Chains A and B, each alone.
Chain A
Amino acid sequence: MTEILVVDDSKVMRDMIVACLRAIPDTSFTHASSGLEAIERLSLASFDALVLDLNMPDIGGVEVLEFVRAQDTLRALPVLIVTTRGDEQSRDRVMRAGATSFLAKPFTPDAIIAEVRAILADRAEFVA
C-alpha cells in the first residue's frame, strides 16, 4: 500500500486532490490541514510521498520542505508541490528548496496523477 500525505489548509482542495489520486491503485491518503500538522505526522509515521500546498498559516510549504530536507530520515521523501503560483520564479525557489516536482493550480486530474506516479517511480529507483 502506498501512503500519501496530502497537505493543504483548504479541505475542498484536499478532497479534490484525493479524488483525483484515487485513480492510482493501492494508495491510501492521510490529510493534514496545516504545515505544522504535516511535520507532526511525518515525525510519527512514515509516508511514501507528500503532496504539499505552499500558502498555509503558521508555516508555509517552503518551510515544511526545508524542514523535511534537513532530516536524515526524510531527505529522500518524494514531495510534489501544488500551488496557485505557477510562475518560473516560484518554481525555481521551490525546486531549490528541495521539491521533487512542481504543479501549478488549476490542474487537471490527469496532470496530478502523472506527477505523483512520476515521483513514486523515482523513489522506487532510488530505493532499488
Chain B
Amino acid sequence: MTATADLKEFIAAYLVEAEEHLAVANSQLLLVERAQRDGETNPRAVRETFRSLHTIKGLSAMVGVEPVVAIAHRMENFLRDSDRSGGALPQSAIDALLAGVHAIEQRVAALSRGDDAAAPSEELLASLDSLGLAPVITPPPTAVLDLEPAMLAKLAPFEVDQLVRGIAKGQRALRAEFSPSPERAAQGLTINSVRERMAKVAEIVRVLPRAVPVTEAAPGGLCFVLILLSLASDEVIASAVGLASTSLQSIVRSRAELPPELALDAMDGLSALIVTRFRLARAIASLTERGVNTREVSEIMTDNARQLRDLRAAIVRVRMVPVSELLERIPLLVRGLQRATNRAVRLELEGGRAELDKSVSERLFPVLVHLVRNAVDHAIETPDERVRRGKPEEGLLRIVCGSHSNARLEITVSDDGRGIDRSAVSRKAGRAVPSDDAGLLDLLCIPGLSTREIVTTTSGRGMGMEIVKRTIVEELGGELEVHSQFGQGTTFTLRVPLTISIVDAFSFECGEQRFVVPVAMVDEIIEVDPDALVHVPANDDGSPAVDIISRRGVAVPMLQLAEIFRLKASRNGASKAIVVRRAGAPVAFAVDRMLGQQEVVIRPINDVLVRAPGVSGATDLGDGRPTLVLDLVALSASLNGGANLLPRA
C-alpha cells in the first residue's frame, strides 16, 4: 500500500490559490461597496465574496493554518447571512470585511516568506462577530420572464432581480442551450469552455442542467440551459460560443396576448390567401375575355379584397408595438452609461405615436443601443473638455422618431459631441479621406473597423457599425445615413419599413417582364413626354445613360429600367416613369406600362446567385411564376456609387 499522503506538502499550492481567492474577495467587495454607494445592491458580488472566503477557510483547515481559519470563518458566517437577506451590506460591514481580507493577506504573505501566521487580534475577531445586516430586500416580480416554472424556481431572487434590471436597462434576456457530446468535447466544446466563451459576449446569470431524452443531438441525455443578459445579437453570441443560433431564445415575455409565433402563423396563412386571390382574379379575367359574364363574381371579389385587407390589418395590429416602447428603455441605458463614462448627458426623446412591427422593433433596438453607446462613450466629450471647447457642460443626445411616409419610420440619433474625425477614420481604414457623408459611412461600415478602433469598458463589446448597416439596410431594407461635422456633432438617420413581408405594391411591365415595387417607396408615377426629354449619353465608366425630364419645372434624372436589366427595349419607348427619392433627391425609372396596385407577399431571396442590388425579394402575382420585387432606391444607389445622378455642367 502506498504511503499515506502528507497534506503539509500542499502548502505552496495552497498559498497560490489563497492569493487568487483573496484577489477575488477584494474586487468583489469593491463591487459591493460601489453598489452600496449608488443605493443599490450587488447580491452576486456578496455571494462571490462568500464563496472565496469559504474556499480559503476550507483549504486553510486542510493544511492547518488556524489563524486564517478563524478569520475566514467569521467573515463567511456573516456573508452567508447577507447572501440570504438579499445582499445589502452597510458601509461599516464592508469596511470590516475589507479589514478581514487584509488580515488574511498579511498571514498568507508571512507564510510565503517562511514565517508563521500570527494569531488574529481579539479586536478584529470581535468586530467581525458583531456585524449588522441591512434590511431584507423584497424579491422582484418575475412576470416579465418567459421561463417555465421549474426553471424559474431554481433562480435565486438576486438572479431574477439581475434579469429584470438588465431587461429594464435594455439588455436582451436569453436562454442558450448546450448539449454535451463526445464529438463536441473533442472539438473543445465543453460546458466549461462554452461558459468561458459565453462570458465574453454575455452576462451569465445562471447555468442549469436539464435532463432530456437521449437523442443524436443530446447523446448524454443532458442539456445545459444558460440564462443570459446581452446586448449582442443571437448571431454574434452563437458564433462567439460555437453554438447554432437556433440554440438561443429570448426569455422576455411579450406584451402581446397572442403569442408572436401564432401571429406569424396567421400571417403565413394570410399570405397563402392573397396568392390564391390573385389566381382567382386571373381566372375571372380570362373568363371575361372569352365573353363570359363575370359581373357577379367580380362583386364578390371586391368584398373578398376588403375582407382580406381587414384581416391583414388585424393580424398586423397584433404584431405592432408602439415606438414609445422601443424608446422607453433608453433613459436607463443612458443613465448607466453616464455613470460608467463620467459624462454629463441630457437626453431628449421624441417618440410620436407611430407603431411598428414587433419583428422590426426587435431588430432595431440593438442598433439604437449601439448608436447611443457610441454617442455617450465616444462622441460626447467629458464635461471639462466641453467647457474648454466653449460648449455647455452637459452634452445633448437627441433621438427623434417619426413616420417618414405611411410605411416608413425615420429615426434620428444626434449628439453635439466631437464629431467624426474623417482623417483619423480614413487612416484607420487605410483609405482615402472621404469627400462626403456617404463616403464616410462606407468607411465606418468596413467590418471590424469601429470595434477594433475603440475598446472601452462600455463599448468594447457588442456590434460595430457594419452590423448596424447590415441590420438596417440588408435585413430590414431600410436606409442609413450619417451626417457629421468635426467638432460639432454627429447625426445618424435610419429609415426602416414599419412592417415587413406584406406590402402594397405597384405592378408594372418593362421589357416584357413583370415587376413590382412597394407603393411606400414610390414618390409619384408620371407620364413621359418623349419630346420633352433631354438625352445625356452614357459615360465611359459604365454608368447607364441618363435622360433628364422636367417635373413641375424641376430637372429629374431618368434611368431606363430595361437598359439597366438588359431587357428587350419596348417598341414604342417608355410611356411611364416611377419616381423615387434617394436621400431626398428624386430619381425616375422609365418603364413600359403600369399594370395596377395590389398587396403582395414579399419572400426574401436567399440564393446568393439570384440576389442582386435593387432586388429586395420575389413575389407571386398568382401566375405561379416568381416576380421580382424591386427596391428602386437601392438600385439607384448601386448604379452610381452614391454620386449625384445629375450630370455636371
Do A105 and B5 form a contact, CB below 8 Å, given A10-B17, A36-B195, A44-B220? no
Contact across chains for B2 and A22 when beta carbons are under 8 A apart = yes
* A16 and B4 form a contact (CB under 8 A): no
Min CB distance A45 to B, Å, is 9
Q: B interface, how many residues as a size bin?
A: 35 or more
The yes or no answer to A9 lying at the interface (CB within 8 A) is: yes
Say whether B58 contacts A39, CB under 8 Å.
no
Q: Check if A23 sits within 8 Å of B2, measured CB to CB.
A: yes
Asked if B7 and A109 make an inter-chain contact with CB atoms under 8 angstroms apart, the answer reads yes
Return the CB mask of B1-20 against A: 1 if under 8 Å, else 0. 11111010110011011000
Q: Contact at B209–A59, with CB atoms within 8 Å? A: yes
Decide if B326 is an interface residue (CB 8 Å cutoff).
Answer: no
With A40-B180, A43-B221, A106-B62 as known contacts, state yes or no: A84 contacts B54, CB within 8 Å: yes
A20 to B5: give the CA distance in the assembly, Å: 5
Known contacts A10-B55, A37-B190, A57-B51; decide if A109 and B5 are in contact (CB<8 Å). yes
Contact A67 B7 (CB under 8 A): no
In the bound complex, do residue A13 and residue B59 qualify as a contact, i.e. CB atoms below 8 Å apart? yes
Q: Mark A99-111, 1 if CB is under 8 A from B, else 0.
A: 0000001110110
The count of residues in chain A whose C-beta lies closer than 8 Å to any C-beta of chain B is 37
Q: A25-B1, A59-B207, A110-B4 are in contact. Are A40 and B62 (CB under 8 A)?
A: no
Q: Please report the C-alpha to C-alpha distance between residue A36 and residue B178 in the assembled complex, in whole angstroms.
A: 12
Could you mark each residue 18-37 of chain A with 1 if its beta carbon is under 8 Å from any beta carbon of chain B, else 0? 01101101000000011011
Compute how far the CA of A30 lies from the CA of B59 in the bound complex, rounded to whole angstroms.
20
Nearest-neighbor residue (CB-CB) of B154 within chain A: A63
| A71 with B220, Cβ < 8 A, contacts A43-B180, A44-B185 known | no
CA distance A39 to B207 in the complex (A): 12
Q: A36: which of B9, B64, B209 is its contact (CB, 8 Å)? A: B209
A92 beta carbon closer than 8 Å to chain B: no
Would you call A15 an interface residue if the criterion is a C-beta within 8 Å of the partner chain's C-beta atoms? yes
Interface string of B209-242 (1 = CB under 8 A from A): 1010000000111101000000000000000000
B182 at the interface (CB under 8 A from A): yes
A106/B51 in contact, CB under 8 A: no
Within 8 A of B (CB), among A88-119: 105-107, 109-110
Q: In the complex the two chains form, is B61's CB within 8 Å of A105's CB?
A: yes
B14 contacts which chain A residues (CB < 8 A)? 12
Q: Is B208 part of the binding interface, using a Cβ–Cβ cutoff of 8 Å?
A: yes
Give which listed residue, A16, A44, A57, A63, contacts B62 with CB less than 8 A. A16
A105 close to B62 (CB less than 8 A): yes
Q: How many Å lie between the Cα of A53 and that of B516 in the bound state?
A: 67
C-alpha gap A67/B207 in the complex (Å): 13
Question: Cβ of A73: which chain B residues have Cβ within 8 Å of it?
Answer: 221
Interface flags, B183-197, vs A, CB<8A=1, else 0: 001000011100100
Tell me the complex Cα distance, A37–B10, Å. Answer: 24
Asked if B211 and A70 sit within 8 Å, CB to CB, the answer is yes
10 A-B pairs with least C-beta separation? A43-B220, A43-B222, A84-B58, A19-B5, A106-B61, A40-B180, A36-B191, A12-B13, A39-B209, A23-B2
Residues on A facing B (Cβ under 8 Å): 9-13, 15-16, 19-20, 22-23, 25, 33-34, 36-37, 39-40, 43-44, 55-59, 63, 67, 70-71, 73, 83-84, 105-107, 109-110
